[in-house]
Amino acid sequence: MKLAKGRIKLLYLITRLTVGGAQKIVLESIDAIDRNQFDVMLAFGPETSPEGSLQDYARQLKVPISIVPSLVREVRPWRDARALIELRNLLKQEKVDVVHTHSSKAGILGRAAAYLAKVPVIIHTVHGWGFHVDSKWHSRFAFALAERLVARFTDRLIMVSNTDLDRGMRFRIGRREQYHVWGGAINVKKFQSVDMNPTELKNSLKIPAHAKIVGSVMRLSPQKDPLTFIQCASQVAAELPGVHFVVAGDGPLRGEAEKKIQNLNLQSRFSVLGLRDDVPSILRLFDVFLLTSRWEGQPLVVLEAMAAGCPVVATGIDGTKEIIQNGWDGYLFPPGDSDSAARAVIHLLNHPGERDNFRDRARVKVDAHDIHRLAQFQMDLYRSLLQGKAS
């Protein structure tokens, strides 16, 4: 078996490089990896989406990039077979030592290709399994079966939450000793050290200077449930006239969301910003951050809000409830329950001292999720597994 001597050749693979938490972790990890020890490559499929692309960011990292033509998010048997062959050929040609896959489709095809190419070390990070609460039974069965098969030749499975570990065990995916749990990771400094003028930013967004802001950064999709956010906004607005609502993001539900804003007569108090490249500044503007997701692996945006000093109200699901301790550094509510969300938001807006306490506690907790800690863990894991294969 061929193993790396000296510098380790490492390839990160993800299904598509659109705006999202898994993609951010991949790119931030690449940025933090020690290039004196690792030759890093990045591969992904060609798909884009309304949520935006991170390909420009990837190119700024100055690593070799391969776009795999047949790698797409949807299940397409013939195209998936071509993607498997394309990935195997890429891995053999590049003589990769470590493959680290992210996202479900790239994780399944990439690990199978790495096995066929005889890559020494194969690792996969689960950012939430491909089957979730809204999945149909046949989809859950198919994804779980595929995950069980490729887990047989996976050296380590990295979870972003204990909830996903438990779910993996419940679906008999791999063995317990294959699993590591490491929560989501962000560049903490980027969100703590933001040079911005709140008054100027509010003015540019046409928000009154003295308005309190309840906001979110989300993909406008069924998973993130923006319609519950808007319903909550309507309830908060009825009780607190001086509050403005902001959502930064785009997606397939944007039209439906904007129609609901109009139907609830919130147009003058609600801003849908679309895609933004100044998210740290936007988060610093919020008085309360509200996340209404129906399911998550572990939402990076919650960590980003905490790092930015923004008190969080979020659905008590999956990895979110492992970040937020209800009543200590944020509030949790059941998915789809706009009444509970509105009560928590109103309470925080009416109690500035509690918002300050939440900020202080969250900033201490979020340091454990810094991307440089994750990068060090990953580098140690790569070296350890390679040494184990060589012995």
Residue whose pair of structure tokens reads 């951010």 in the numeric block: 24
Collect all residues with Cβ–Cβ distance below 8 Å to 64 and sequence separation of at least 6: 41, 42
d(Cα 356, Cα 104) in Å, to the nearest integer? 39
Do 165 and 91 lie in a common domain? yes
> Which range of residues forms the domain containing residue 360?
188-368
**Together in a domain, 269 and 207:** yes
Residue 3 lies in a domain: no
Q: Is 118 exposed, middle or buried (0-12, 13-18, 19+ CB in 10 A)?
A: exposed
Residue 254 lies in a domain: yes
- On whether both 54 and 93 belong to a single domain, the answer is yes
Does 104 lie in the same domain as 19?
A: yes
For tokens 């991307």, name the residue. Answer: 371
Q: Helices 300-307 & 352-366, crossing angle to 10 degrees?
A: 110
- 227 and 329 housed in the same domain: yes
- pTM (predicted TM-score): 0.89
Beta-carbon count within 10 A of 92 CB: 15
Q: What is the pLDDT of residues 128-137, one digit of tens each?
A: 887 765 656 6
User: According to the model, what pLDDT value does residue 52 have?
Assistant: 80
150 in the same domain as 41:
yes
Residue at 380 is within a domain: yes
Closest by alpha carbon to 318, among 104, 126, 147?
A: 126
Instruction: Report the pLDDT value the prediction gives residue 200, as an integer from 0 to 100.
Output: 94
Containing H/E element for 14? Answer: strand 8-14
Question: What CA dihedral angle connects 226, 231, 235 and 240, to 10 degrees?
Answer: 40
Check whether residue 225 and residue 111 sit in a common domain.
Answer: no
Nearest CA among 25, 36, 40, 18 for reference residue 300:
25
Tens of pLDDT along 47-83?
Answer: 887 778 899 999 999 999 999 999 998 888 999 999 9
Domain match, 52 and 100 both: yes
Q: Tell me if 295 is assigned to some domain.
A: yes
d(C-alpha 240, C-alpha 234), whole Å: 10
CATH of the domain at 346: 3.40.50.2000
Q: What pLDDT score was predicted for residue 134?
A: 61
Answer whether 18's CB lies under 8 Å from 47's CB: yes
pLDDT at 1: 43
pLDDT of residue 2: 46
Number of domains in the chain: 2
The pLDDT of residue 4: 43
Residue 5 is predicted with a pLDDT of 55
CB atoms within 10 A of CB 267: 10
- Those residues of the chain that have pLDDT short of 50 are 1-4
102 and 147 in one domain? Answer: yes
The reply to whether 2 falls in a domain is no
> Does residue 54 sit in the same domain as residue 64?
yes
- pLDDT of 229: 98
Give me the pLDDT at residue 132, please. Answer: 62
Question: Whole-angstrom Cα distance, residue 347 to residue 94?
Answer: 56
Residue 322 contacts by C-beta under 8 Å, 6 or more apart in sequence? 161, 162, 163, 183, 298
Q: Pick the closest to residue 71 from 120, 115, 108, 27 (CA basis).
A: 108
Residues sharing a CB contact under 8 Å with residue 106, sequence separation 6 or more, in sequence order: 13, 14, 15, 44, 45, 71
Statement to judge: residues 198 and 140 lie in one domain: no
Residue 237 placed within a domain = yes
Q: Is residue 212 within 8 Å of residue 240, measured between CB atoms?
A: yes
Residue 125 counted as domain residue: yes
Q: 1 in a domain, yes or no? A: no
Q: Is-contact 216 315, C-beta < 8 A?
A: no
Structural Rg of the chain based on CA atoms: 21
Same domain for 364 and 217, yes or no, is yes
- Check residue 3 and give its pLDDT: 45
